[in-house]
Chain A
């Protein structure tokens, strides 16, 4: 047996090897353990959940705020709210970026020079504005004050102020968006129908963009659920909207001619005996006159007008009739007949009448009555009777049927400019941006500059704010307790908008601002109430308390959606296919079609179509960090065929001109647009440097539109705008 000699050399070798092995093992072992884990964030903390109502668009879906400490972490849908059902769109989630936007207005401002502002106290702001208002009333009468508001939930205060002050000139944005449709509904059925999309088997959408405009998450959800169950969805639109991409058929139509197509479809229903005779007999008046009127409105007649094949029109009429009564023409919102063409009112009527022929009012999968408003009405302090008459003659004279509550705001610049019928010296713009939202931006800006007093109440400094004498910062919807929001969807439901964080900076809710101005203008006695009292009064019929409601955030009537022929709010108590009211007022009692202003048949001449984008609400959201990065700019869509002949490629800068002005904008060559149309998204092109993300991104479309009124409801007819396009 030989002994292994442990020489020093061998010993060192062994130790060395052992050392290496140990270190290696240690290294591998260490690498298994070290460095594990992820970064920490607010998601690791316990949040407080506060239900409230979203304010990023007019849908007012119920949302839930996750609050950690005194900071808002994020927003989610409130799964119990019928309008959101737990879902939340991109704009809703982006509310957190509105609340914490560093570009928000922080304190009251007074203009002291061109784009030069002084920070002032609320007390000073109210005092000076009150004083000025008293002076103007003294000099030119109370009607010299106009008030523009995009009503959110505190419309009560805006109207109370104007009533107390004595001016009838309150304007909402209705005539820019939905006035024609609303008046048509009132005169045809007496209320604005709500489509029962989930149960429908066939849905015709004329321009109605459930995928990109005012985002009722529950409606979009219902529509796509219906599609999943086999319902057919057809979109008729000059542009391939995202809604059109998700439908079964996209029918490109010549802009402004939807009315002819609707009449032709009715012609088919009557001629081929496909309409619901029983329903028509029981629930409508004027069918005989309608039938005679429809005789010559054939698909061939409509085909040349609409640029839609006669066969397609006939087929769609047959298909929708085959699916009745769970088949509907969506009553629409803005696009095709809300307030877009001179014929919009009659076109909206045509759609409602066509639905009547399908017998779908009150049917499952058809059009239903809007839910009853369960809120109690707050008894406002009585104001003196109104002496003055409206400056835009809404509700009288040439526009007897136009809403005197909403007015026709698009003619306000003309009134200010011409001082006809009388001068308007002051304007308060609350939650609205007339310098960008009104047609004919150049004219609107000129008129606004002419005012002796312009007061803006808003969350951002806007283009209107740049022209204002006083800019008053409103708290965002996440910092406010607002009057109760009634649902406009299928069930009777109310939701509470309550603050999720304390008001930031030196901001106030809009109603407090109005009450403050009123106090300083000597009208304090008419504002001896606060929002709490209004809320409590509105909750009384339901036996709820504010404290109780703030836990759940909403209350719903336990009654389910009911079907069956509804009551109609018309003089005859039935659906008025032939409207005596219209006849009496001197308008066509039947839904006639008149084409839009003739479009010259030239290669570079187009009809301007304005529309929406899923990331933005009007002019309000372009500075929101999340939404800006989804959609930073707008472009003008031109059809591939025309673009090729004009030598325009995607990305080229083009000059678009109309009688109202000229804009330079980037072109997007698209297959999905009718060759006679160009399309752009509304809301871009802000000129305010302090809106750092939105400043000079994209271009404002209203630089091109004209301030017209359609004859019946007085709605804006911006879709009549004809433009020329050329490469820059």
Chain B
């Protein structure tokens, strides 16, 4: 198929970034104070994650490197194209989430990493402090709109997660993709990887934040385990339906489960994406306490690996319809 690794990375980052945003919003609605580290990290990373996917998309374009101004046509050329909608949605979402991420940065507090450089790099310290200073009024100007931005961001994030699934879901030349389950599967995967990314980022923060997160670890894990179980159900249904629908889809499923993609499928998705995190969560339940820091990085990192490989395999296992 014409779409490969760059597009898989782009879809993964777009989905995870939107998912992180949605988890942050969900956590905030549930209890901003309780899940403060999650809200903070989810909002902060979502914009950069999606934005990071865009160079991969542009790299994959045939004409993108040669005549990049053609990207203008992407927005106005064909209103009935889902990819055109996606251009609008993602541009808007990146703008909103980057703004909200900016709002998460506290310019009043001291930044330890900046203070460290005071002695040895005085010039740098002065310049960065100056920037920090002028950011404050901008921060204050935008702050009142925070709720409006959150609402817009939530709508756009939902649109983004649906878009990544719908993009390939409407392609009726590939029976494996052309299934109603795929957009929902991708949405769940986006939420799951988004949550995982937010947790990983939160865990590598200073110790105070980590402790705060640890207190509510079990409830966090329960939600995450539920997401993974739902994902398993979706993947199972997706493969079962595909295997029984048409020759091309059957071939795709065969490739994934027994053929030349099976190694990636069983190790990447089954083990890293599903088994590994679930086992760690169960172990923690039995143990009675969370595996701090490294435990969370391993389990949530596995979820990220699994989520990426899911997107990659969805693209790689594509088999076009039989014409005879």
Q: Do chains A and B touch in the complex (CB under 8 A)?
A: yes
Which residues of chain A have a CB within 8 Å of any CB of chain B?
27-28, 30-31, 34-35
| B72, B75, B76, most chain A CB atoms within 10 A | B76
**Is A28 within 8 A of B76, CB to CB?**
yes
* Beta-carbon contacts under 8 Å, B68-119 to A: 70, 72-73, 75-77
Chain B residues with Cβ under 8 A from A34's Cβ? 73
Q: Which residue of B lies closest to A29 (CB)?
A: B76
Chain B residues with Cβ under 8 A from A35's Cβ? 70, 73
Chain A residues with Cβ under 8 A from B76's Cβ? 27-28, 30-31
Give 3 closest A-B pairs by Cβ, nearest first.
Answer: A31-B76, A27-B76, A28-B76
Chain B residues with Cβ under 8 A from A28's Cβ? 76
Q: Which residue of A lies closest to B76 (CB)?
A: A31
* A34 CA / B69 CA spacing, docked (Å): 11
Chain B residues with Cβ under 8 A from A27's Cβ? 72, 75-76
Q: How far is the CB of A33 from chain B (nearest CB, A)?
A: 11
Chain A residues with Cβ under 8 A from B77's Cβ? 31
Of the four ranges (under 10, 10 to 19, 20 to 34, 35 or more), the interface on chain B belongs to under 10
A-B contact pairs, 13 of them (CB 8 A): A27-B72, A27-B75, A27-B76, A28-B76, A30-B72, A30-B76, A31-B72, A31-B73, A31-B76, A31-B77, A34-B73, A35-B70, A35-B73
Chain B residues with Cβ under 8 A from A31's Cβ? 72-73, 76-77
**A30-B76, A31-B73, A31-B77 known, 10 other contacts, Cβ within 8 Å:** A27-B72, A27-B75, A27-B76, A28-B76, A30-B72, A31-B72, A31-B76, A34-B73, A35-B70, A35-B73
Chain A residues with Cβ under 8 A from B72's Cβ? 27, 30-31
Bits for B38-80, please: 1 = Cβ < 8 Å to A, else 0: 0000000000000000000000000000000010110111000
Label chain A's interface by main secondary structure: helix
Q: How far is the CB of B68 from chain A (nearest CB, A)?
A: 13
Q: How far is the CB of A35 from chain B (nearest CB, A)?
A: 6
Q: Which residue of A lies closest to B70 (CB)?
A: A35
Chain A residues with Cβ under 8 A from B75's Cβ? 27
* A31 CA / B73 CA spacing, docked (Å): 6
* A27 CA / B76 CA spacing, docked (Å): 7
Q: How far is the CB of A437 from chain B (nearest CB, A)?
A: 38
Q: Which residue of A lies closest to B74 (CB)?
A: A31
* A31 CA / B72 CA spacing, docked (Å): 8
* A34 CA / B72 CA spacing, docked (Å): 11
* A35 CA / B72 CA spacing, docked (Å): 11
* A15 CA / B75 CA spacing, docked (Å): 23
Q: How far is the CB of A671 from chain B (nearest CB, A)?
A: 16
* A28 CA / B72 CA spacing, docked (Å): 10
Chain A residues with Cβ under 8 A from B73's Cβ? 31, 34-35
* A30 CA / B72 CA spacing, docked (Å): 10
Q: How far is the CB of B148 from chain A (nearest CB, A)?
A: 18
* A42 CA / B72 CA spacing, docked (Å): 31
Q: How far is the CB of B74 from chain A (nearest CB, A)?
A: 10
Chain B residues with Cβ under 8 A from A30's Cβ? 72, 76
Q: Which residue of B lies closest to A34 (CB)?
A: B73
* A34 CA / B73 CA spacing, docked (Å): 9
Q: How far is the CB of B80 from chain A (nearest CB, A)?
A: 14
Q: How far is the CB of A399 from chain B (nearest CB, A)?
A: 52
Q: How far is the CB of A236 from chain B (nearest CB, A)?
A: 27
Q: How far is the CB of A387 from chain B (nearest CB, A)?
A: 66
* A35 CA / B73 CA spacing, docked (Å): 9
Q: How far is the CB of B188 from chain A (nearest CB, A)?
A: 36
* A28 CA / B75 CA spacing, docked (Å): 9
Q: How far is the CB of A27 from chain B (nearest CB, A)?
A: 5
Q: How far is the CB of A23 from chain B (nearest CB, A)?
A: 11
Q: How far is the CB of B247 from chain A (nearest CB, A)?
A: 19
* A184 CA / B59 CA spacing, docked (Å): 68
* A28 CA / B73 CA spacing, docked (Å): 9
* A34 CA / B67 CA spacing, docked (Å): 13
Q: How far is the CB of B199 from chain A (nearest CB, A)?
A: 40
Q: How far is the CB of A459 from chain B (nearest CB, A)?
A: 37
* A27 CA / B73 CA spacing, docked (Å): 9
* A35 CA / B74 CA spacing, docked (Å): 12
* A31 CA / B75 CA spacing, docked (Å): 9
Q: Which residue of A lies closest to B75 (CB)?
A: A27
Chain A residues with Cβ under 8 A from B70's Cβ? 35
* A31 CA / B77 CA spacing, docked (Å): 6
* A27 CA / B75 CA spacing, docked (Å): 9
Q: Which residue of A lies closest to B78 (CB)?
A: A31
Q: Which residue of B lies closest to A35 (CB)?
A: B73
Q: How far is the CB of B77 from chain A (nearest CB, A)?
A: 5
Q: How far is the CB of A651 from chain B (nearest CB, A)?
A: 14
* Beta-carbon contacts under 8 Å, B123-139 to A: none
Q: How far is the CB of A21 from chain B (nearest CB, A)?
A: 14
* A12 CA / B76 CA spacing, docked (Å): 26
* Beta-carbon contacts under 8 Å, B185-242 to A: none
Q: Which residue of B lies closest to A28 (CB)?
A: B76
Q: How far is the CB of B273 from chain A (nearest CB, A)?
A: 33
Q: Which residue of A lies closest to B77 (CB)?
A: A31
Q: How far is the CB of B262 from chain A (nearest CB, A)?
A: 19
* A584 CA / B76 CA spacing, docked (Å): 90
* A385 CA / B75 CA spacing, docked (Å): 87
* A28 CA / B77 CA spacing, docked (Å): 8
* A30 CA / B69 CA spacing, docked (Å): 13
* A296 CA / B77 CA spacing, docked (Å): 81
Q: Which residue of A lies closest to B67 (CB)?
A: A35
Q: How far is the CB of A146 from chain B (nearest CB, A)?
A: 52
* A612 CA / B265 CA spacing, docked (Å): 43
Q: Which residue of A lies closest to B73 (CB)?
A: A31
Q: How far is the CB of B164 from chain A (nearest CB, A)?
A: 25
* A459 CA / B76 CA spacing, docked (Å): 55
* A425 CA / B289 CA spacing, docked (Å): 95
Q: Which residue of A lies closest to B79 (CB)?
A: A28
* A483 CA / B185 CA spacing, docked (Å): 72
* A27 CA / B72 CA spacing, docked (Å): 9
Q: How far is the CB of B69 from chain A (nearest CB, A)?
A: 10
* A446 CA / B73 CA spacing, docked (Å): 67
Q: How far is the CB of B227 from chain A (nearest CB, A)?
A: 40
Q: How far is the CB of A348 from chain B (nearest CB, A)?
A: 39
* A59 CA / B76 CA spacing, docked (Å): 56
* A219 CA / B24 CA spacing, docked (Å): 75
* A30 CA / B76 CA spacing, docked (Å): 9
Q: How far is the CB of B320 from chain A (nearest CB, A)?
A: 21
Q: How far is the CB of B163 from chain A (nearest CB, A)?
A: 21
* A35 CA / B76 CA spacing, docked (Å): 13
* A399 CA / B70 CA spacing, docked (Å): 76
Q: How far is the CB of B40 from chain A (nearest CB, A)?
A: 34
* A27 CA / B88 CA spacing, docked (Å): 14
* A34 CA / B77 CA spacing, docked (Å): 10
* A30 CA / B70 CA spacing, docked (Å): 12
* A276 CA / B70 CA spacing, docked (Å): 76
Q: How far is the CB of B83 from chain A (nearest CB, A)?
A: 15
* A31 CA / B74 CA spacing, docked (Å): 9
Q: How far is the CB of B78 from chain A (nearest CB, A)?
A: 9
Q: How far is the CB of A650 from chain B (nearest CB, A)?
A: 16
| A27, A28, A30, A31, most chain B CB atoms within 10 A | A31
* A107 CA / B75 CA spacing, docked (Å): 57
Q: How far is the CB of A504 from chain B (nearest CB, A)?
A: 34
* A346 CA / B73 CA spacing, docked (Å): 73
* A454 CA / B161 CA spacing, docked (Å): 73
